[in-house]
Amino acid sequence: MLALQDPLRLADGSLMVPEPIAPLLALMDGTRDLEALRLGLELRTGIGLTPEQLENLVNQLDEAYLLDSPLFRSVLAEKLGRYRDAPFRTPAFAGEIYPADAPALTAVFDDFCKDAGESGIVVDGGPVVGVISPHIDYHRGWRSYAQVWQPARAAVENAELVIILGTDHAGAPGRFTLTRQSYATPLGTLPTDTGLVDQLAEVLGEDAAFEEEVHHIGEHSVELAAVWMHYVSGGTPKTVLPVLCGFPEILTDAGETGTRINEALALLSEAASQRPTLVVAAGDISHVGPAFGDSWAFDAAAKGRIRESDDAWLEIACSGKQASMEEHLRQNGDPTRICGVSPILYMMAILGDVPGRMVIYEQCPADEDFGSLVSIAGVLYPGQG
């Protein structure tokens, strides 16, 4: 069976589709009616569904909001409208990944910091201006979160603006998705700099900037970094700019999309130079093993090779040189599924050739046997002394 899940979290649970009829899903591209779908499946697989069976499956897919249909679009518009009308973005994972109660959250994070200890990393130069933070769940990534955010405490306290660039796991390539809504955490609300949002929307175009805004509702990347940032601020409501980033089409598209994103990044670089600003790239590193589509489980030797590959990638990230990262991606692609590519690349562009210092690297299990893994890292970027 294939378990189909909605990345937008419009519907709960999964819809199970028998594997033999999975090729039918690839035919549902909007160009075929029910009879053409039925015949297409039979020609490709030899499986003959009755019209009633096919209609039942299509209805199930539609009711689970997995088809681009009038029902899906109406539900999507309704959810986006409720999100925009709310006083703030409600934390999507409070009570699930972390405590929804402020005292309980603080106690848990205090324990994380105590158990993780200090990293021992001495950051040379001036105040920290950039952070690579994981966005993996806290029960697996707590040590990395604690070790990278503790030395960034002073930078958070001094910042007048925190730009949080998060991976948009459901985003289309080349998206730089804004929201005017403020993010809430159990410690309070982090006001969004709507003036800066408006400036960016003018550069990107209103439609492009907000076409996938609904992704902010259920995406965890910005949220999980924001909660840690709010914690190390001591609960002070820092002004933020939350941005969700699709894969950087800028690397392969020299057209209007790439030009506008470059202009948006230049605008953010200028804004960061005018007031104390911290830029956060909320991105994990490699995703490998059967859980992510590889046909083999990763043993100790394979994990060692992933470490070597990650080290090479992170060395370029720590160089602070955007051009070097772009060239590496053009030459090598993304064979280990680094989901932090866009946030990290865009942070480097905003900071402008500021080198970083790696604080911690970990490989976290992604299945029960640890044959699949997600690698994460924490990196600090000090500014000029």
27-82 pLDDT, tens digit each: 999 999 999 999 999 999 999 999 999 999 999 999 999 999 999 999 999 999 99
**How far apart are alpha carbons 285 and 363 in whole angstroms?**
9
Does residue 105 belong to any structural domain of this protein?
yes
One domain, residues 73 and 145:
no
> What is the average pLDDT across 192-220?
96
Residue 67 to residue 55: CA distance in whole angstroms: 13
CA distances from 145 to 197, 359, 364 (A): 27, 10, 13
* CATH number of the domain that residue 125 is part of: 3.40.830.10
Q: Is the residue at 368 inside a domain?
A: yes
| Residue 152 clears pLDDT 90, i.e. is over it | yes
Provide the number of structural domains found in the chain.
2
The whole-number pLDDT of residue 20 equals: 92
Which residues span the domain enclosing 29?
2-80
Q: Are residues 106 and 74 in the same domain?
A: no
Residues 125, 268 share a domain: yes
DSSP string, 265-299: HHHHHHHHHHS-EEEEEE----EESGGGT-SS---
The pLDDT tens digits of the residues spanning 330-373 come to: 888 899 999 999 999 999 999 999 999 999 999 999 999 999 99
pTM for this predicted structure: 0.91
Q: Do both 42 and 170 map to the same domain?
A: no
**179/193 Cα distance (integer angstroms):** 10
Among the candidates 47, 80, 113, a domain finishes at 80
Structure tokens at 27: 């035919």
In this structure, the answer to whether residues 134 and 67 fall within a common structural domain is no
Could you tell me if residue 86 is inside a domain? no
Q: Examine residue 85 and state whether it is found in any structural domain, yes or no.
A: no
Does residue 237 sit in the same domain as residue 351?
A: yes
Same domain, residue pair 153 and 276: yes
Of 29, 46, 80, the last residue of a domain is 80
* In-domain check, residue 87: no
The whole-angstrom distance between residue 373's C-alpha and the CA centroid of its chain comes to: 17
